[in-house]
Amino acid sequence: MALPLLISLFTVLAPIILLLTACICLWQLRWNLKADKNWKLPLPPGSMGLPIVGETFHWLLQGSNFHASRRKQHGTVFKTHLLGRPLVRVTGAEHLRRLLLEEHNLVGTNWPQSAQAILGSTSLANSSGDIHHHKRKVYAKVFSHSALESYMPQIKQVVAESVRDWCASEHPVTVYSESKRLTFRIAVAILLGSLPSEEELTNLFTVFEQLTHNLFSLPLDVPGSGYRKGLQARDRLHEYFEKPIEDMLQSSPEYPTALGILIKSSQEQGVKMSMQELKEAMVELMFAAYATTASACTSLVLQLLKNPAVLAKLRMDLQTNGLWPESRTGENLLHLSDVTGLQYLDGVIKEVLRLLPPVSGGYRVALQTFELGGFQVPKGWSVMYSIRDTHDTAPIFQHPETFDPDRFAQDQMKGKDARFQYLPFGGGVRRCLGKELAKLILKILAIELATISHWELATKTFPKLLMVPVVCPADGLKVQFSAQLCNKSSR
């Protein structure tokens, strides 16, 4: 009885297997035929995965191991197919230097289709050429030194309240979830100048989470798809921000907000932003200050847990520089100059961003066929440059697996060209405008944590790290905080 059953199963499955195999072979062949016939150079090595979805699911499941394994197999330039597009992945300063310096010539902006639609056609991320250059000048005022100084009281207040809540909790805190709430509250506070009610803020946070969760999704606009959910969240956020924008346009606030600075900056540049542009700018600015900064905040807590000697040295440095609680009086005596002048703290933050950059790389699109690493990159293909892999293989960083803030001391970095070997905020004409705001938030959080709290890992082992879409612990990082004013004996 078993043999006839096996024969029947084989009769049914064999044609299906042959058909699937043929489809996969034709899919791979299709992309090999996409090579530019005017170039003798071959396409980079690599696989285009399965029909339609390519290697998207492998990428989502494997995280950083996906790129690491393929880099080990194929080298620093390889091809794949992610999120509906053919893609060339690139690692190493020598390749990144060329890509980032020759934007608008060899490559242009190329976010995945889902991100393009959700962020909007007028967003900074989706602009290029002269339009992008002009928008950066407008947006730059939002992150100027004077603007950051004006945000300090709000950032400090939100961070202090959050850390106080973490310390008051009887149960372990999930650091990544709480860090997202923290950075979201900061983004809303500096954009609007104040926070809405807790109920309204919670609802807004839920919608924003839906947008960010589906920003990188297969562009299938069907009921229930991540792409459709992302578009719906975008529309709800645009609806919410319309009234604050109208109010800001009709009034002259007594104190600066990021939204107010943006409106004024656009007027100074001679181009009044439309309501649609301002709504898309609000969402984009929130996104820029949210997920990646929350990832870095979580990594900061993780690394200080793993490296108690670094925390002890940081506490000593803060005490030496008069940033210990008993050395300060009043609520808002922490100024921008106090924070930016701390060299060891600066090294701690830079090392967190070196070892665990929040995003793995940046997207571009080939504007023309060009050579890279001995291979051709065909016109129209996506190009993704690696950040973490480049940090891990950069020759200026000895023992890259070790967390060592002192590697960024001035005497250690003297004579080293880190421009394209260290780039947690990207590089070239699209280097992240909000990098100083992100570092400021991280530094204020580090100061609050180090000076007023104690924390311990609430699980037996450190969690596995997920790398897609941003770096975060698999369990969110469970930590038990307690209010413990540190003193000299804690060093």
b vs e for 405-422, b when ≥16 Cβ sit within 10 Å of the residue's Cβ? bebbeeeeeeeeeeebbb
Q: What is the pLDDT of residue 218?
A: 85
Q: What is the pLDDT of residue 287?
A: 87
* Domain ranges (residues) in the chain: 129-490
Strands 478-483 and 173-174: antiparallel
The CA distance from 12 to 6, in Å, is 10
What is the maximum alpha-carbon separation in the chain? 87
- The answer to whether 149 and 135 have CB atoms below 8 angstroms apart is no
* Phi, then psi, of 253 in degrees rounded to 5: -60, 145
Q: What is the pLDDT of residue 325?
A: 73
**Which of these, 306, 267, 250, 290, lies nearest to 479 by C-alpha position?**
306
On average, the pLDDT of the chain sits at 88
- The answer to whether 119 and 126 have CB atoms below 8 angstroms apart is yes
Average pLDDT over residues 148-165: 95
Q: Express each pLDDT in 75-112 by its tens digit.
A: 999 999 887 889 999 999 999 999 999 988 899 887 77
Q: Express each pLDDT in 247-301 by its tens digit.
A: 988 876 555 799 999 999 998 988 889 999 999 999 999 988 788 999 999 999 9
Q: What is the pLDDT of residue 487?
A: 44
Level-2 CATH architecture, domain 129-490: Orthogonal Bundle (1.10)
Q: How many other CB atoms sit within 10 Å of the CB of residue 328?
A: 14
- The answer to whether 166 and 178 have CB atoms below 8 angstroms apart is yes
Q: Express each pLDDT in 196-207 by its tens digit.
A: 999 999 999 999
Which comes out higher in pLDDT, residue 37 or 32? 37
Q: Express each pLDDT in 426-437 by its tens digit.
A: 988 888 999 999
Q: What is the pLDDT of residue 429?
A: 87
Q: Inform me whether the pLDDT recorded for 330 exceeds 60.
A: no
Q: Inform me whether the pLDDT recorded for 12 exceeds 70.
A: no
Q: What is the pLDDT of residue 361?
A: 86
Strand spans (E) along 138-192: 173-174
Q: What is the pLDDT of residue 491?
A: 35
How far is the CA of 369 from the CAs of 75, 220, 379, 413, in angstroms? 20, 29, 4, 37
Q: What is the pLDDT of residue 190?
A: 95
Helices 291-306 & 343-355 angle (0-180, nearest 10):
110
- The burial class, CB within 10 Å (0-12 / 13-18 / 19+), for 312 is middle
